[in-house]
Structure 1
Amino acid sequence: MSGLVIQRLTTFTVSVKQFGRVPNILNRLPSSLPSPSPTVSASQVPRLFREPYILTGYRPLHQNWYCYLLSLFQKHNESINVWSHLLAAPLLLLRWWSHFGALGYPSDISALPLCLFIASALTCYFCSSMAHLFQSHSEQAHYYVFFMDYVGVAVYQYGCALGHYFYTSAPGWRATIFGQYFLHGTAFLGLMSSVGCCVAKSRYRKPYPLQRKICQLIPSSQAYFLGISPVVHRLLTVSWGEEPSLKLHALQIVCFLCSAVFFSCPIPERFFPGKCDIFCHGHQIFHILLSLTTLCQLEALFQDFTRNRENIVDIFGENQIWWACVSFPVLAVLCLLVAFVSMKYMHKKLKQD
């Protein structure tokens, strides 16, 4: 199964790399629609929009909003960041629907955490795609769309935690202090992840100090390590031959940790300044690896769900499943409030500047 996932992602990656060979769709649009301006160099955009070692491919600011929408079909240094998630989302949805169909489209409460997992992943992908697509419009738009991106990340973290808790966790782990406070802790850390990223984004300006990275990474990394703890426990205590899903869980952890490296470090563009502007810079690789992480999660969780389906309600009880799932929209609303407060703060700050 892991080979199937890798094969699908490889096909997707090849398709993305052929992006530049596609005929220019913009030339076929009616002349009444605005067309995106040609891309510019880093020196022609404000410091806020410049990325380390990315020298060209920036979209000019203050174009019509339609221009940024139509830049979907333009080559620029955000193209792969947008398309990587726009293409991964329907692939993820198709795999989910295929698995659901194979199980007879279950409608009982035991399948609810799985539905919320796919909803959280699609929310994260949508917010990320929109952020990278529209962030170049203006400084205010840049902040606003990335605040929403952080909402998507927090929701996705909790969606993963629901799947790991109800389908993958072992009784021995649930008896530990991590298991007893797992759902409360992952929800709280998801909210703190959103708060930390919004504060770091709104408070610090380039060149960014170390405090910004700390403010972002501490709550986000804590949320991840707590959320993945039931999976790690099972990987260490159960024979991988007994449960095929464990290989996929191991693969999702490897992919995520590799993606974290590319997110944190500007590689390979650091070693080839100007050569990775459009294709293959670190953030693009991060996006692709994150898509592979989610696909592996989906495949593994479906296997876990299929194996434990008959016992899930008996083990956890309907009330616990309902309360855990009701927490999902509550967390989303709280993260949205954090984003809106951050937007209001940045609006005042930009007016003062």
Structure 2
Amino acid sequence: MLGDILQRLSTLPLSIKHFGRLPKYSDLMSFSLPAPSPTVTASQVPGLFREPYILSGYRPVQQEWRCYLLSLFQKHNESLNVWTHLLAALVLLLRWWANASALGYTLETASLPLCMFLVSSLTYLFFSVAAHLLQSHSEHAHYFFFFLDYVGVAVYQYGCSLGHYFYTSKLAWRGSSIGLLFLPGAAVFGWLSCAGCCFAKYRYQRPYPMQRKICVLIPTTLAYMLNISPVVDLLLTVSWTQEPSLPFHGLQIVSFLLSAIFFSCPIPERFYPGRCDFAGQGHQIFHLFLSLCTMFQLEALFLDYARRKDTLLDLFGESQLWWACASFPVLFLCCILTAVFTMRHTINKLQSKQERKK
């Protein structure tokens, strides 16, 4: 038997020579991890994927999913949109760990709104990363991941509202008409923000008309104005020397307003077409300022939480804290259902378009 085995082994090199050389390790890696295709110009991708004044740096559509995942390490016109929010999520987690250690933070009822703020921030950051990293695969993927991105924005808005209401707001403001309707209004405006963005994405094609901006900006603006109202009240009525969180609240407002400008206007690429294809786009600057806004919010809310954590249950009661935080997953579910509903109509629309082409 041993002789038969040795005889078969002796013929193995002939078999290898007959079928070809053994694959190298690099060949195996290239097979299992396909390299992303080189980027292409705007004329080489469908109109849905083109951005105004961005002329190159697009990833070809219909590659394998792994190619888009690996494009995380490739230079293309979405690279900075991905990395700004990916790094922001990492910084947010590090600052959370540092602040929590300094405060002797423990998970308890009083800290629930703070946890909801962190979860909402990470949700919008990672959904944004997924959208900008994977949307180039196909038209279906483009719509799906940006609908998911809008869910993240709505959830983040409500997470901010919880933090501002329980840690930042004053008693007099909470007794006002705005304060009494604040949390229900924040939830409704958060959902309207998601629904408006999803509808605008589904309904309007490039070049986008003014109606699209109206559908997007009106609900998100109303949501922000309500969300920031307890912070503005505090900034206008309390001395900045008395509250250490006020400079951070001021910085979060400035950062958000700057991000809104760059989100609404394609600058500076409008004045330098093709010069900002890889770096310097308005959307990349929008991402940067929005990330800064979130970081300033975290610092401010930790300071507000440290000031109020011992009296929070006496101020609001345990049941109000639990009900308010329980509404967070309800809003998330409503936004997901809205995105799924809109995606179903979008799929039908894309299928109709394909049938008309045949």
| C-alpha distance after superposition, 1:240-265 (max 9, x if no partner) | 01112101100000000000000000
| Shift in alpha-carbon separation, 1:313–1:28, aligned structure 2, 3 A | farther
Q: Do residues 31 (structure 1) and 33 (structure 2) align?
A: no
Q: Which residue of 1 aligns with 2:80?
A: 80
Q: Which residue of 2 aligns with 1:70?
A: 70
Q: Do residues 319 (structure 1) and 319 (structure 2) align?
A: yes
Q: Which residue of 1 aligns with 2:133?
A: 133
| Shift in alpha-carbon separation, 1:29–1:245, aligned structure 2, 3 A | farther
Q: Which residue of 1 aligns with 2:274?
A: 274
| C-alpha distance after superposition, 1:164-191 (max 9, x if no partner) | 0000000111011110010000001000
Q: Which residue of 1 aligns with 2:297?
A: 297
Q: Do residues 347 (structure 1) and 327 (structure 2) align?
A: no
Provide the rounded CA distance (Å) in 2 between the counterparts of 1:272 and 1:204: 26
Provide the rounded CA distance (Å) in 2 between the counterparts of 1:144 and 1:31: 29
Within 5 Å, give how 1:208-223 maps onto structure 2.
208-223=208-223
Using the TM superposition, name which of 104-113 and 263-272 deviates more: 104-113
SS in 2 for 1:61: coil
- Please report how far the alpha carbon of residue 46 of structure 1 lies from its aligned counterpart in structure 2 after TM superposition: 1.1
Within 5 Å, give how 1:100-139 maps onto structure 2.
100-139=100-139
| C-alpha distance after superposition, 1:250-287 (max 9, x if no partner) | 00000000000000001111111111100111000000
- Quick one: percent identity of the two aligned structures? 64
Provide the rounded CA distance (Å) in 2 between the counterparts of 1:35 and 1:222: 44
Root mean square deviation of aligned Cα: 1.1
Provide the rounded CA distance (Å) in 1 between the counterparts of 2:62 and 2:216: 28
Q: Which residue of 2 aligns with 1:16?
A: none
Provide the rounded CA distance (Å) in 2 between the counterparts of 1:30 and 1:166: 52
Provide the rounded CA distance (Å) in 2 between the counterparts of 1:144 and 1:176: 40
Q: Do residues 175 (structure 1) and 170 (structure 2) align?
A: no
Of structures 1 and 2, the larger Rg is shown by 2
Q: Which residue of 2 aligns with 1:152?
A: 152
Provide the rounded CA distance (Å) in 2 between the counterparts of 1:107 and 1:230: 25
- Please report how far the alpha carbon of residue 64 of structure 1 lies from its aligned counterpart in structure 2 after TM superposition: 0.5
SS in 1 for 2:136: coil
Provide the rounded CA distance (Å) in 2 between the counterparts of 1:59 and 1:168: 44
User: AA paired with 1:42?
Assistant: A
| C-alpha distance after superposition, 1:108-167 (max 9, x if no partner) | 201010011000000000000000000101111100000000000000000000000000
Provide the rounded CA distance (Å) in 2 between the counterparts of 1:208 and 1:271: 19
- Please report how far the alpha carbon of residue 107 of structure 1 lies from its aligned counterpart in structure 2 after TM superposition: 2.3
Provide the rounded CA distance (Å) in 1 between the counterparts of 2:90 and 2:224: 25
Provide the rounded CA distance (Å) in 1 between the counterparts of 2:100 and 2:348: 47
- Please report how far the alpha carbon of residue 99 of structure 1 lies from its aligned counterpart in structure 2 after TM superposition: 1.1
Provide the rounded CA distance (Å) in 2 between the counterparts of 1:72 and 1:238: 45
- Please report how far the alpha carbon of residue 29 of structure 1 lies from its aligned counterpart in structure 2 after TM superposition: 9.0
User: AA paired with 2:263?
Assistant: F
- Please report how far the alpha carbon of residue 105 of structure 1 lies from its aligned counterpart in structure 2 after TM superposition: 2.6
Provide the rounded CA distance (Å) in 1 between the counterparts of 2:107 and 2:83: 32
User: AA paired with 2:141?
Assistant: A
- Please report how far the alpha carbon of residue 89 of structure 1 lies from its aligned counterpart in structure 2 after TM superposition: 0.4
Provide the rounded CA distance (Å) in 1 between the counterparts of 2:332 and 2:108: 23
| C-alpha distance after superposition, 1:25-54 (max 9, x if no partner) | xx9992112111100111111111111111
Provide the rounded CA distance (Å) in 2 between the counterparts of 1:85 and 1:142: 18
User: AA paired with 1:248?
Assistant: F
Provide the rounded CA distance (Å) in 2 between the counterparts of 1:50 and 1:57: 10
| Shift in alpha-carbon separation, 1:86–1:28, aligned structure 2, 3 A | farther
User: AA paired with 1:101?
Assistant: S
Provide the rounded CA distance (Å) in 2 between the counterparts of 1:271 and 1:123: 33
Provide the rounded CA distance (Å) in 2 between the counterparts of 1:264 and 1:105: 38
Q: Which residue of 1 aligns with 2:161?
A: 161
TM-score, normalised relative to structure 1:
0.91
Q: Structure 2: 5+ residue runs without aligned partners?
A: 1-25, 354-358
User: AA paired with 1:211?
Assistant: Q
Q: Which residue of 1 aligns with 2:334?
A: 334
- Please report how far the alpha carbon of residue 102 of structure 1 lies from its aligned counterpart in structure 2 after TM superposition: 1.6
Q: Structure 1: 5+ residue runs without aligned partners?
A: 1-26
Q: Which residue of 1 aligns with 2:253?
A: 253
Q: Which residue of 2 aligns with 1:17?
A: none
Q: Which residue of 2 aligns with 1:238?
A: 238
How many residue pairs were aligned? 327
| Shift in alpha-carbon separation, 1:50–1:253, aligned structure 2, 3 A | same
Provide the rounded CA distance (Å) in 1 between the counterparts of 2:105 and 2:237: 32
Provide the rounded CA distance (Å) in 2 between the counterparts of 1:260 and 1:95: 25
- Please report how far the alpha carbon of residue 106 of structure 1 lies from its aligned counterpart in structure 2 after TM superposition: 1.8
Q: Which residue of 1 aligns with 2:19?
A: none
Provide the rounded CA distance (Å) in 2 between the counterparts of 1:212 and 1:88: 29
User: AA paired with 1:140?
Assistant: H
Q: Which residue of 2 aligns with 1:262?
A: 262
Q: Which residue of 2 aligns with 1:224?
A: 224
